[in-house]
């Protein structure tokens, strides 16, 4: 197969199409859609990263308040996810405009999104300018999962999450299960 050199743009994919919530100083919530959401440390402590353009309203809220939640939507929320990423929270209440339900978080001020089966509460540990985005490192304080999306061991079951993913400026629903980590060692 012949390889062709192209101009890089989001070369590592897929990633989740995540909904990130933040709040202003008065507790008014905002939501932003991000494709730049990822695991950094998977245990002791669990740390995630989000990368966001500094011009966004959410960037300023997260920087000032030092907290955010990550909410992973299902594929059936696609129109809402895309719409949220297409308007600014400076101009509207995105929960109201897109018909989503805020739920109180346990340890942070930004709310969870009830319609998302997986929600993660994060406290900002640090930030760094990285190219055209600001990288926020968030320590995971609490993870919430809809009870009907758990497996028999009480862990999130990706086969039940109906994950919405983002790749090369396109949305996709996650495909089917192929194997469990370490299956080749059997």
| Residues of the chain above pLDDT 90, percent | 87
Place of tokens 């001020």: 109
Mean pLDDT for the chain overall: 95
CA distance 42 to 71: 18
Q: What is the CATH number of the domain that holds 81?
A: 2.30.110.10
Q: Could you please report the per-residue DSSP string of 82-114?
A: HHHTTS-TTTS-HHHHTT--EE--SSSSSPEET
d(CA 108, CA 166): 27
Would you say residue 186 has pLDDT above 80? no
Range of the domain at 117: 15-177
pLDDT over 70, % of the chain: 99
Per-residue pLDDT reduced to its tens digit, 112-134: 999 999 999 999 999 999 999 99
Whether 184 maps to a domain, the answer reads no
- Asked if residue 157 belongs to a domain, the reply is yes
Tell me the whole-structure pTM to 2 decimals.
0.95
Residue 26 lies in a domain: yes
Q: DSSP of the chain, one letter per residue?
A: --------SS-S--EE-EEEEEE-TT--EEEEEES-EEEEEESSSEEEEEEE-TTSHHHHHHHHH-EEEEEE-BGGGHHHHHHHTTS-TTTS-HHHHTT--EE--SSSSSPEETTSSEEEEEEEEEEEEETTEEEEEEEEEEEEE-GGGB-TTSSB-GGGS-BEEEETTEEEE-------TTGGG-
Distance, CA of 135 to CA of 120 (rounded, Å): 17
The count of domains in the chain is: 1
Task: Let me know if residue 148 belongs to a domain.
Answer: yes
Task: Point out which residues pair with 20 in neighbouring strands.
Answer: 32, 70
Task: Please tell me the predicted confidence (pLDDT) of residue 10.
Answer: 83
5 part of a folded domain: no
pLDDT at residue 181, as a whole number: 83
104 occurs within a structural domain:
yes
């Amino acid at each position: 197969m012949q390889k062709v050199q192209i101009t890089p743009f989001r070369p590592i994919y897929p990633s989740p199409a995540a909904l990130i919530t933040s709040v202003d100083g008065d507790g008014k919530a905002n939501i932003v859609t991000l494709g730049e959401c990822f695991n950094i440390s998977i245990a002791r402590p669990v740390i995630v990263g989000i990368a966001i353009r500094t011009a966004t309203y959410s960037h300023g809220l997260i920087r000032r308040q030092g907290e955010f939640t990550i909410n992973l939507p299902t594929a059936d929320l696609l129109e809402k996810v895309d719409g949220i990423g297409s308007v600014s929270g400076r101009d509207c209440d995105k929960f109201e405009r897109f018909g989503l339900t805020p739920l109180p978080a346990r340890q942070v001020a930004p709310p969870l999104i009830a319609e998302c089966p997986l929600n993660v509460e994060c406290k900002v540990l640090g930030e760094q300018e990285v190219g055209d985005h600001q990288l926020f490192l968030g320590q995971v304080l609490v993870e919430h999962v809809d009870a009907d999306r758990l497996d028999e061991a009480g862990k999130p079951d990706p086969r039940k999450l109906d994950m919405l993913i983002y790749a090369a400026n396109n949305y996709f629903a996650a495909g089917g299960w192929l194997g469990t980590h370490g299956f080749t060692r059997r």
